[in-house]
A and B are shown apart, each in its own frame.
Chain A
Amino acid sequence: MSQKPLTLAEKVWNDHLVVKGEDGAPDLLYIDLHLVHEVTSPQAFDGLRLAGRPVRRPDLTIATEDHNTPTLDIDKPIADLTSRTQIHALRDNAKEFGVRIHSLGDIEQGIVHVVGPQLGLTMPGLTVVCGDSHTSTHGAFGALAFGIGTSEVEHVLATQTLPLKPFKTMAINVEGTLRPGVTSKDIILAIIAKIGASGGQGYVLEYRGSAIRALSMEARMTICNMSIEAGARAGMVAPDETTFAYLKGRPHAPEGENWDAAVEYWKTLQTDEGAKFDVEVFLDADHLDPFVTWGTNPGQGVSLLDSVPNPDTFDDPNERAAAQRALEYMDLTAGTPMKSIKVDTVFLGSCTNSRIEDLRAAASVLKGRKKADHIRMLVVPGSARVRIEAEAEGLDQVFKEFGAEWRFAGCSMCLGMNPDQLAPGERAASTSNRNFEGRQGKGGRTHLVSPLVAAATAIRGTLSSPADLEG
């Protein structure tokens, strides 16, 4: 028992060591689950073909179509030829290399980070990778999950391993109880505003504390999803009864003896008492307000009750310059109350906030109300399953009666690779994860918000929270 106390991230790392790196060489880590989509994989499969290499473990690999897929008329051929070509390249590659694929129209199709957990493939203690930075989502289960580039996708396809240098660890302690109308999206936006869009760089974040423990799995996924927006490769939450209850009975969850063995192991996946994090950060959940962004990186956020900040108040010259540039791009003036900002479009969707609980939360606000006349609202479920579940609950009717568009599953307007885009100058309240210049369409302006704020904003036409609807 004299072993050095370890953090959760260190335990998962150590359990996947194939070769310990020496003399500055990286460790070689085994990868339990490799998620694949159409955008970052074609060149990787091409590399395998050129080198005459197979996919080492097709049985640890799964592909889905999400980034390019249309959210309307999915029974017709994809109108955009380059998108269609890319989707077909994935289908051809999956077939040639024996990789399981869920194509547009398949009942398991959807955003890769919604599909993995839904199928019960994402579990505590795994290493999970995908050629997508929001792979951090899967950390909500206590998995070490991170985004990789296409060369690394090829590397994992060929070897089921990755050479990696150990990360540093950062504890994010969130204590207290969220007030009504405040959600896990607000927690993560507040954390990013606090540590900055590059504050987590080089770290694995571990979200801890009573406020995190109280969250559902889906709410934890929202938080871990945006770890990358703080610059961190990965974010994790230690598994607990909430995690086990979510997993039990899912299609790929272990059964019988394997379930018992797994749970026994998963229970050890806690940061040991006395383990040392490189950095610790604290956030008070009791007094947190709904959070929104005003700028063009996810760290440029404030309370919804606040105003657009004055760039002159930033001490750091780079931050000041970035804020000035952001206000210009966003067409905002310092001192403007956030709640007075008028938006044109509301987007409810993306791997951050497109799960059933997100749709339920928004629908609970919208029910029986009408949208502001000038608002366009898109509701894009994260997966075909989520869409079916929502329809079984009648949520689609709530959205349609409200005046929103009810779409098919995919990444959609989060990054506008399909026709769902903002026009130049158009302003959106979006439940997605990035407010970068042009992210949702060239010249488009994005305010990141929670599903509840998105819903209230669609009703009032200006950035709002459900509290603004009362009285």
Chain B
Amino acid sequence: MEKFEVYSGIAVPLRRSSVDTDQIIPAVFLKRITKTGYDDALFSAWRSDPEFVLNKLEYAQGSVLFAGPDFGTGSSREHAVWALRDYGFKAVFSSKFADIFLGNAGKQGLVTGVISDSETEAIWQLLETNPGLEAKVDLVAREVTVGDLTVKFEIDEYTRWRLLEGLDDIGLTLRDEQSITDFEARREPWRPKTLPAKGA
């Protein structure tokens, strides 16, 4: 995973709440077996509407998303994060994210910053009157700046550390492999095993 410190890119106002992962990427796109190439799938249903924000020239190259509350609810599909990433998004801001989405984003290096609803509204208004403005995302300072507006954002401290360091989770866990082996030796015999297979 690449290290993330400071990033600047075009900001996109997504004036919607409860953007569930079925909206971020509909199920028909989940049949692929690759981990990349989902840029065409992002917000696929909404993108058929010419008025949709990403269809406007000023935002088409967007890479920092400002959305309403409850972003990423519903299905656990990590494809939602892959689609945002493949389209070019590096960071998403909302007043509230769904838990599984947050976890998935952190694994893929997508920054998820929590800001308040009133800050989101102020940024939406700024972007709607000045389309094409850049947002500067500073993970070190936990600040996002759009035009002359700078707001602090929240992000889980451990996730932030991993993103700053670009660390891979499995590698981190395997440093504790001896503890895992010790734990396995203590497991009770009644706990189920899938092998050998037993049928009814």
Question: Which chain A positions have C-beta within 8 A of B176?
Answer: 18-19, 28, 161
Contact A147 B194 (CB under 8 A): no
The residue among B73, B98, B157 with the most chain A CB atoms within 10 A of its own CB is: B73
26 A-B contacts (beta carbon < 8 Å): A18-B179, A24-B161, A30-B183, A39-B31, A60-B193, A61-B194, A82-B32, A86-B32, A119-B198, A132-B76, A149-B104, A154-B170, A155-B170, A159-B170, A159-B174, A198-B96, A198-B98, A201-B96, A231-B98, A258-B190, A259-B190, A297-B73, A318-B17, A415-B27, A417-B30, A434-B75
Cβ distance B39 to chain A, nearest Cβ, rounded Å: 16
The residue among B103, B107, B170 with the most chain A CB atoms within 10 A of its own CB is: B170
Shortest 4 CB-CB distances between A and B: which pairs?
A149-B104, A151-B107, A149-B78, A262-B190
| Interface-side segment among B18-26, B54-62, B123-131, B133-141 | B18-26
Question: Which chain A positions have C-beta within 8 A of B20?
Answer: 297, 434, 436
Binding site for A on B (CB under 8 A): 16-18, 20, 22-23, 26-28, 30-35, 45, 68-70, 73-79, 81, 96, 98-100, 103-104, 107-108, 117, 156-158, 161, 169-170, 172-174, 176-177, 179-180, 183-184, 187-195, 197-200
Question: Which chain A positions have C-beta within 8 A of B100?
Answer: 133, 147-149, 233
Q: Which residues in chain A, 200-221, are within 8 Å of chain B measured between CB atoms?
A: 201-202
Question: Which chain B positions have C-beta within 8 A of A118?
Answer: 200
Contact B73 A252 (CB under 8 A): no
Contact A120 B192 (CB under 8 A): yes
**A228–B74 Cα gap in the complex (Å)?**
7
Q: Which of A58, A80, A201, A319 contacts B99 (CB 8 A)?
A: A201
Q: Which of B23, B31, B158 contacts A82 (CB 8 A)?
A: B31
Q: Which of A197, A385, A417 contacts B28 (CB 8 A)?
A: A417
**A434–B75 Cα gap in the complex (Å)?**
9
**A296–B192 Cα gap in the complex (Å)?**
39
**A342–B20 Cα gap in the complex (Å)?**
26
Contact B173 A159 (CB under 8 A): yes
Residue A163, interface by CB 8 Å: yes
As a 0/1 sequence over residues 259 to 276 of chain A, the CB contacts with chain B under 8 angstroms (1 = contact) are 101100100000000000
Cβ distance A82 to chain B, nearest Cβ, rounded Å: 4
Residue A49, interface by CB 8 Å: no
Contact B69 A436 (CB under 8 A): no
Q: Which of B28, B68, B173 contacts A163 (CB 8 A)?
A: B173
Closest A residue to B173 using CB positions: A159
Question: Which chain B positions have C-beta within 8 A of A198?
Answer: 18, 69-70, 73, 96, 98
**A32–B191 Cα gap in the complex (Å)?**
7
Contact A438 B191 (CB under 8 A): no
**A251–B190 Cα gap in the complex (Å)?**
13
Given known pairs A155-B173, A252-B198, the reply for A265 and B34 (CB within 8 Å) is: no
Contact B197 A126 (CB under 8 A): no
**A334–B34 Cα gap in the complex (Å)?**
44
Closest B residue to A89 using CB positions: B33
Contact B188 A261 (CB under 8 A): yes
